[in-house]
Structure 1
Amino acid sequence: MPAEQMAADDGSRPPARPLDSIDRDILQILRADGRASIRSVAEQVHVSRANAYARINRLIEDGVIRGFSARVDQERAGQGASAYITLKIVQNSWRRVREQLQELPGAAHIALVSGDFDVLLLVHTEDNRALRELVLTKIQSIPEVLSTRTLLVFEETDLGPEP
């Protein structure tokens, strides 16, 4: 399944099949090392390679696994400024706003949330000047965005499993 289809899951597919302990173990292994070979996964969960391959494909088809990615040190990758930006948006405009936010350079995570604001956006930019430009000229120019608040990230800790 192409990554675009995995990321575009809009709830139109049937729910994922229930996971058993082997499926959960496979997910844990792949979270720690998305490049783990089928052979390695099969050995670690004590199933055949064919069984491991079929299970991983089922997890992908069911949308449980949405894709594979690399954990990146943003600062070392030239993205020295990171921020969480909270947005208040016009009621019922989530889908339109999400589409526009996904196009922003440096947008890393977008979530519709409850509470004092509607959207939480994580961005990574080259520096504070680029962050300022992103917030003031791109995000605040989206018609459905009523207000923003920017929370600078001073330090991050990746809680994902170590490779």
Structure 2
Amino acid sequence: MKMDEIDKNILKLLQEDGRMSYSEIARRIGVPESTVRLRVKRLIEEGIIRKFAALINPFKAGYTIVAFIAVDIEPNK
């Protein structure tokens, strides 16, 4: 799928605030709300938007340790 500037702007706004309404996105980028609705649907169907999720603060959620683990493997091993 080829993305244009409208798609990129929608993605940028949703990355900043995944709960932003379609009407607010439409207002900010200057397109009809129906355009935003159809574009987001297509971005989901094409797998560009995989899911909408909450980004939590692990310390405020009660977790005391945060670990980032990288694994480097060779295919077929």
The TM-score normalised by the length of structure 1 is 0.44
Alpha-carbon spacing, 1:81–1:50, altered in 2? closer, same or farther (3 Å): same
Q: CA deviation at 1:84?
A: 2.3
Q: Where do 5+ consecutive residues of structure 2 fail to align?
A: none
Aligned counterpart, 1:69: 53
Structure 1: runs of 5 or more not aligned = 1-16, 94-163
Which whole-Å CA distance do the structure 2 matches of 1:56 and 1:32 have between them? 15
SS of the residue 2:68 aligns to: strand
Offset at residue 91 of structure 1 (A): 5.0
Identity %: 36
Q: When you count strand as a share of all residues, which structure comes out higher?
A: 1
Task: Tell me if 1:27 matches 2:11.
Answer: yes
Structure with higher Rg: it is 1
2:66 to 78, 82, 86: 82
Q: CA deviation at 1:71?
A: 1.4
Q: CA RMSD in A?
A: 1.7
Residues of 2 paired with 1:81 and 1:53: CA distance? 39
* Structure 1 residue 43 corresponds to structure 2 residue 27: yes
Q: Tell me: higher relative CO, structure 1 or 2? Use CA pairs within 8 A at least 6 residues apart.
A: 1
In structure 2, distance between residues paired with 1:49 and 1:67: 20
Task: Judging by fraction of residues, say which structure has more helix.
Answer: 2
